[in-house]
Structure 1
Amino acid sequence: MSKRVVTPEDLLQLRSVTSPALSNDGEHVIYVETTLHNEKDKYSAELIRASLANPDDSHYVTQGNHINRLPRWSPKDDVVAFLSNRTGTFQLYVLSSWGEPKQLTEEKKGVTDFRWSPDGKRIAYSSTQLLEEEKEEDKLEPLVVNKMKYKSDASGFWHGEYVHIFTVEVDSGKHIQLTDGEFSFQLFDWTADSQQLIVSSAYQENTDFVFTNELLLLSVESKEIIQLTNQTHVISNASASPDGKYIAVRAHEREFDNATHFEIYLLELASNEWTKLTGGWDVQLGPVVAADFLQNIVDPGLVWAGDSQSLTFLVSEQGNVGIYNITVAGEKQAVLTGDNHVYGFSINSEGTTLVAGISESGHPGDLYKVIPGQGEPTRLTSSNDKVLDEFEVIKAEEVRFQHEEGHELQGWLMKPAGFKEGQSYPLIVEIHGGPHAMYANSYLHEFQTLAARGFGVLYINPRGSLGYGQEFVNAVRGDYGGGDYRDIMSALDYVLEQHSWIDESRLGVTGGSYGGFMTNWIVGHTNRFKAAVTQRSISNWTSFYGVSDIGYYFTEWQIQADLNDVDKLWKHSPLAYVNQIETPLLILHGEKDYRCPIEQAEQLYIALKRREKTTTFIRFPESSHELSRSGKPSLRLKRLEAIGEWFERYL
């Protein structure tokens, strides 16, 4: 029986299986299964408990069309804590004996993260708090702004909120607020004795030009704070060894601003000595994949072995994400690698069993049981098998070649659905955002829908992408539209030379964020593309500097110019080349995008229309920069339809 092609609506049929949490005895895993609902225009996420010995022995432990996420087992008991928005905001719950969940918090702004104490008696959590009483919701109030970092694409306008740390006793429900004041704190871990918390904070009142954070020890009894660093690092993760000797820290020193690779540092608490474990290892620590399907992904960070002698973590390299281990002596070992995207894992304290979430270009992702050093992973979940049996999923072929400028480039090529030898097909070039991110051997629903419409899809990692070394990721800074543009065009030339089925007269290009900038740049510098779709893009660096939530510092880091050098900002602005744009251009943008505000799209649209160029502008209501990844399901579908229809019209 022939299979049907993928449609945008299949996004509603597929389920995202993420956030595995392995039980203390290693016999069960709890994970999150996320579903999109078009009729209610929302997401739901339920927790499922499955047996590793018998994966068919699984059942839902939550139900009710809410979002339940971040399951974590108690270190001592058969109890799971998790976050749920069943009361409207995310609150902390515990579940034991698999009965009804017990709610532990009633924070007005909800709970953002939590960690079990090693003794299993308390849970530390973080929650956004307002310094002043919240204004009446139905009463209009002016927003008084006195800081540069006053808005965020993730959380909107700043009204005096700070993230603070609390503890709650699991049995009694007693709460203690440990931090207060005009600082925000990030929760990382407990120390082994359950007496202190490892947290971080910028720890300065004016953070407009502060991009590092301090590593701090916070006493849960006295609330005393001990500062462990001196404003020199960007710290993204920290965890305490079970024996109490070390804190492992994932951080960098901003040598290349936000293009800097993270390293793993080891702090020996007794001597206060720091050791860089990953010195000379030129890879990106952590997952940095540009994709559009998976939901409720959790980066496990740095996970200690029970004997405190090694750490397990994710590494992004060469278009893959794998699992590695490093000892306290700095010896590295691959645990799980291959042509795939490991998007999460949970490992037992002995390091003998782990459960990993794995996606590939032709598969959305499932959980697998892995016995390190003993054969292939064993699949535990099959949430999408029935749906995947119905339609043709295209697996991408790797593209790898030597650029004439001396570096190697990697990408992937997808043939159209129903491909037949001897026929010619149009091709669409896809460009990821960031630019410091990475396309990978991972499932991308947008690309599948384009292939289903009869398009080939080419996507590569040009200069500026993570996963290919520090020099490569840094190469785009100060050179937007230079070497990155040449990389993309060289990749296109290469596949045209290698694949005769591609119709060179029917080429399209699209991308979002930085990929939208590059789409704008490309159509302003060549007419070889017959259609283009620019999404949540940048068109004018001179205005982006002041309107984006990251504008003033991102522009200085990436373009390496500010408003004192308007000539350079304008030189790198696609709007400067609008007279040269002949390609029919569809402009897609979210109304509440604070990362690349919609005025960037408005400027480009009006400039094109004034010159009577072929263009259409689609504005997505109530949508942030994350529209394509976590926006309203109905709008995500309309976005995919708009892209496909535009390319069908002009290619």
Structure 2
Amino acid sequence: MRPDQLGDFRVPSDAYLHPDGERAVFVVTQMDLDADEYVRQLWLWDGTSARPLTSGRADFNPRWSPDGGTLAFLRKGPGDDGKAQLALMPIDGGEAETITDFELGVSEVAWSPDGTQIAVVAGEYVDGIDDDEERQRRPRRIGHPSFRFDTKGWTYDRRSHVWIIDPSTHERSQLTTGDCSETSVGWSPEGTTITYLSATGEDRWVNPHNQVFTIPTADGEPHAVTPKGSWSWSGFAPTGTLYTLGTVTDRATLRPSQIHRVTWDGALDQVTDFDRNLNPQHPASSLSAPQFLEDGTIVCVMEDRGAHRVVSIDTDGAVSDVAGGRRLITGWCPSDDGSSAVLTVSTPTQPGEVVWWDGSRETVLTSLNDAFLDEVDLIEPQEFTFDSNGHEIHGWVYLPPGNESVPLLFNIHGGPATQYGWGFFDEFQVYAGAGYGVVAVNPRGSSGYGYEHVSAPCGRWSDEMPPDIADLIAAPAVAAEQFPRLDVGQKGIMGGSHGGLATAMITSMDQSYRSAVAERGVYNWVSMAGTSDIPFFIRLYLETDMPDGVDEMWKASALARAHGITTPTLVIHSETDYRCPVEQGQQLFSLLYKQGVETELLLFPTGEGHELSRGGAPKHRVERFDAILAWHEKHLTPAV
């Protein structure tokens, strides 16, 4: 696969089963490299074949009305400033009609059980300024430290609230108000109550605490039904019982979220005791979150050892496997009785298709990527494991076709609480296609292997040899022992975010790498404090913070060790990265330059953030690949 083929594959998502149990709607996303944009359209499986349903360039988030006669979805207008609005389309004929004009657009849609109302989450400015040019001109008066967010921009002057829309008259009424934002709306079975998530505490600007609330759809006040904690979902069972996904905590935590039942007296009854993450998508998807069957059984997607599997939890808490395999299940929408489902799946050699499950067998419904797969030779990875100080480390190797030796290109993921796995990843296919043997592992700190594994780096990055770094340092040699085509004499390393941090730390300790790419990393925890959009992250992983922890924070910083780096290093960053602000990359680049290390800074312009490699402008994604391949080719000898 080549970088210029990024626009040739399509990715399905949000596959929702029609109430008739036979049809399904889903979103298809494809990059248009010429227009430099993502095209998202709704498609329909009509029971026989799949076809485009809408012709918009940015249609997404589809939701069937309960009677199946109308499809609600979000449609974004043309241009970068277009805000997504609610649109309705009669499914048996007729054009889609956009029925809202919220100032900052709509982000969520949920039909009431009787189909007479639609709840939406819509944004608005709260600064009292009516003119956008004047808003941009004025100095910003900021009263709390969480004033911007990566990919969203400035957030201090806006809030999101729940509104109720009448789909017949298009009239709207505001349900929630105030200085806090709401997300993740859901209806009670009788349609008289809405549940949502919101952070309302005074410390919400520096700690990721939120609560589950309910509010009557008629006159009434919101009611908090959980203590403060880390909550990602809430929903009503068919019986009207409220369930939640999360954990009660007064600080950021890596402990797996559990499903809880809210009892009649307001207490929380923990239903599950998983040592894996539920709802693993990034960002979280409503189709990987818990969903109810008509008998009260819960089905949801679980992250496990580089894969996703679907599990069911009955009303007594008993857990059963429903679907799995060496793949990522990126969405699962069951029928009411659970006898069938429509799902979206991805494998290392398949960017994605929509699949029908009938309770025992699966049938692929779409052929979205047949043309793409005919023109590329995607590599099937080979799995391996090894022991690192008594801990099993799991990884994969992607080898180009042939028998000759190939340079070893070691990739390190971000997070660190995420995972590489059994899904399609354009990065690995492009690098293998360019003649490199790609090695990727899930060291301690990765999710999908239990709490002990994911929490291992916490408080340890100031150690002489942090546990995740020890795993990563050992991985290339172990991989080369098991896959002799990998040439450790020609070894490159690269990673983004936590992977950028790890790249800098490893090359400061191990000078055998001939090429390095450090991307969007955090290299100086001291300057990260107070500048990142996730201020809780430092205390979570370093177990200290400013001002008392300044010495420990510097000791844990990659820059504190960077005097040992000799490997030629390309530093990549984006100007509007609010997760790991741009000064992080600038500091690493400047230090390497002063030390006489061969280095360059590839800086992407305003508008690109931390998610550039996954969701940046298509042309920038191609240019990023071109720069990375040119850098490695300069210092390594790929087998092409």
Q: Could you state the TM-score of these two structures normalised by the residue count of structure 2?
A: 0.95
Shift of 1:154: 2.8
Equivalent in the alignment of 2:157: 160
Shift of 1:296: 10
Does the Cα contact within 8 Å between 2:207 and 2:252 map onto a contact in 1? no
Specify the code of the residue in structure 2 equivalent to 1:506.
Q
1:198 equivalent in alignment to 2:195:
yes
Equivalent in the alignment of 1:34: 29
Give deviations 1:79-125, integer Å, cap 9, x for gaps: 11110103621001111123211222110100011111011110001
Q: CA RMSD in A?
A: 1.7
1:426 equivalent in alignment to 2:407:
yes
**Where does 1:90-129 land on structure 2 (aligned, <5 Å)?**
90-96=84-90, 97-129=92-124
Specify the code of the residue in structure 1 equivalent to 2:108.
D
- The 3-state SS of whatever aligns with 1:164 is strand
Equivalent in the alignment of 1:546: 530
Specify the code of the residue in structure 1 equivalent to 2:74.
L
Equivalent in the alignment of 1:600: 584
Q: 1:256 to 1:159 in 2, by over 3 A?
A: closer
Specify the code of the residue in structure 1 equivalent to 2:551.
D
- The 3-state SS of whatever aligns with 1:389 is helix
Specify the code of the residue in structure 2 equivalent to 1:427.
L
* Stretch of structure 1 that moved more, 519-528 or 565-574: 565-574
Count of aligned pairs: 625
Equivalent in the alignment of 1:307: 295
- The 3-state SS of whatever aligns with 1:30 is strand
Q: Could you state the TM-score of these two structures normalised by the residue count of structure 1?
A: 0.93
- The 3-state SS of whatever aligns with 1:162 is strand
Give deviations 1:20-72, integer Å, cap 9, x for gaps: 010001111101111111221111101011134x2xx23222103x2111111
Specify the code of the residue in structure 2 equivalent to 1:363.
Q
Give deviations 1:417-452, integer Å, cap 9, x for gaps: xx322x211011111111111111011101111101
Does the Cα contact within 8 Å between 1:69 and 1:296 map onto a contact in 2? no
Equivalent in the alignment of 2:59: 68
Does the Cα contact within 8 Å between 2:311 and 2:321 map onto a contact in 1? yes
Equivalent in the alignment of 1:130: 125
Q: Identify unmatched segments of 5+ residues in structure 1.
A: 1-5, 290-294
The match for 1:555 among 508, 515, 538 is 538
Does the Cα contact within 8 Å between 1:61 and 1:98 map onto a contact in 2? no
- The 3-state SS of whatever aligns with 2:159 is strand
**Where does 1:58-457 land on structure 2 (aligned, <5 Å)?**
58-64=50-56, 66-86=57-77, 88-96=82-90, 97-134=92-129, 136-139=131-134, 140-205=137-202, 207-231=204-228, 233-244=229-240, 246-254=241-249, 257-268=252-263, 270-279=264-273, 281-288=274-281, 298-308=286-296, 310-372=297-359, 374-375=360-361, 377-403=362-388, 405-416=389-400, 419-421=401-403, 423-457=404-438
Q: 1:501 to 1:400 in 2, by over 3 A?
A: same
C-alpha separation between the residues in 2 aligned to 1:79 and 1:440? 37
Specify the code of the residue in structure 2 equivalent to 1:81.
A
1:495 equivalent in alignment to 2:479:
yes
1:566 equivalent in alignment to 2:547:
no
1:634 equivalent in alignment to 2:625:
no
- The 3-state SS of whatever aligns with 1:224 is coil
- The 3-state SS of whatever aligns with 1:412 is strand
The match for 1:650 among 629, 635, 638 is 635
Specify the code of the residue in structure 1 equivalent to 2:436.
F
Does the Cα contact within 8 Å between 2:41 and 2:55 map onto a contact in 1? yes
Equivalent in the alignment of 1:3: none
C-alpha separation between the residues in 2 aligned to 1:504 and 1:187? 48
Does the Cα contact within 8 Å between 1:125 and 1:187 map onto a contact in 2? no
- The 3-state SS of whatever aligns with 2:632 is helix
Shift of 1:574: 1.2
C-alpha separation between the residues in 1 aligned to 2:5 and 2:220? 50
Shift of 1:299: 4.1
- The 3-state SS of whatever aligns with 1:524 is helix
- The 3-state SS of whatever aligns with 2:133 is coil
C-alpha separation between the residues in 2 aligned to 1:645 and 1:596? 25
Equivalent in the alignment of 1:482: 466
C-alpha separation between the residues in 2 aligned to 1:170 and 1:211? 35
C-alpha separation between the residues in 2 aligned to 1:300 and 1:23? 18
- The 3-state SS of whatever aligns with 1:392 is coil
Give deviations 1:560-583, integer Å, cap 9, x for gaps: 222312221111111112221110
C-alpha separation between the residues in 2 aligned to 1:440 and 1:567? 36
C-alpha separation between the residues in 1 aligned to 2:550 and 2:504? 19
Specify the code of the residue in structure 1 equivalent to 2:566.
E
Does the Cα contact within 8 Å between 1:104 and 1:168 map onto a contact in 2? no
Q: Identify unmatched segments of 5+ residues in structure 2.
A: none
C-alpha separation between the residues in 2 aligned to 1:239 and 1:158? 27
C-alpha separation between the residues in 2 aligned to 1:339 and 1:642? 32
Give deviations 1:210-234, integer Å, cap 9, x for gaps: 4221211111110322221232x21
Specify the code of the residue in structure 1 equivalent to 2:507.
V
C-alpha separation between the residues in 1 aligned to 2:225 and 2:102? 30
Q: Percent same amino acid at aligned positions?
A: 30
Shift of 1:298: 5.0
Q: 1:206 to 1:503 in 2, by over 3 A?
A: closer
- The 3-state SS of whatever aligns with 1:593 is coil
C-alpha separation between the residues in 1 aligned to 2:383 and 2:209? 37
Does the Cα contact within 8 Å between 1:182 and 1:205 map onto a contact in 2? no
C-alpha separation between the residues in 2 aligned to 1:502 and 1:387? 28
C-alpha separation between the residues in 2 aligned to 1:135 and 1:559? 43
Shift of 1:254: 3.7
Equivalent in the alignment of 1:589: 573
**Where does 1:516-535 land on structure 2 (aligned, <5 Å)?**
516-535=500-519
Does the Cα contact within 8 Å between 2:493 and 2:517 map onto a contact in 1? yes
Does the Cα contact within 8 Å between 1:169 and 1:175 map onto a contact in 2? yes
Shift of 1:273: 4.2
Shift of 1:288: 4.6
Does the Cα contact within 8 Å between 1:18 and 1:297 map onto a contact in 2? no
Specify the code of the residue in structure 2 equivalent to 1:432.
H
1:615 equivalent in alignment to 2:606:
no
Specify the code of the residue in structure 1 equivalent to 2:54.
T
Shift of 1:144: 1.3
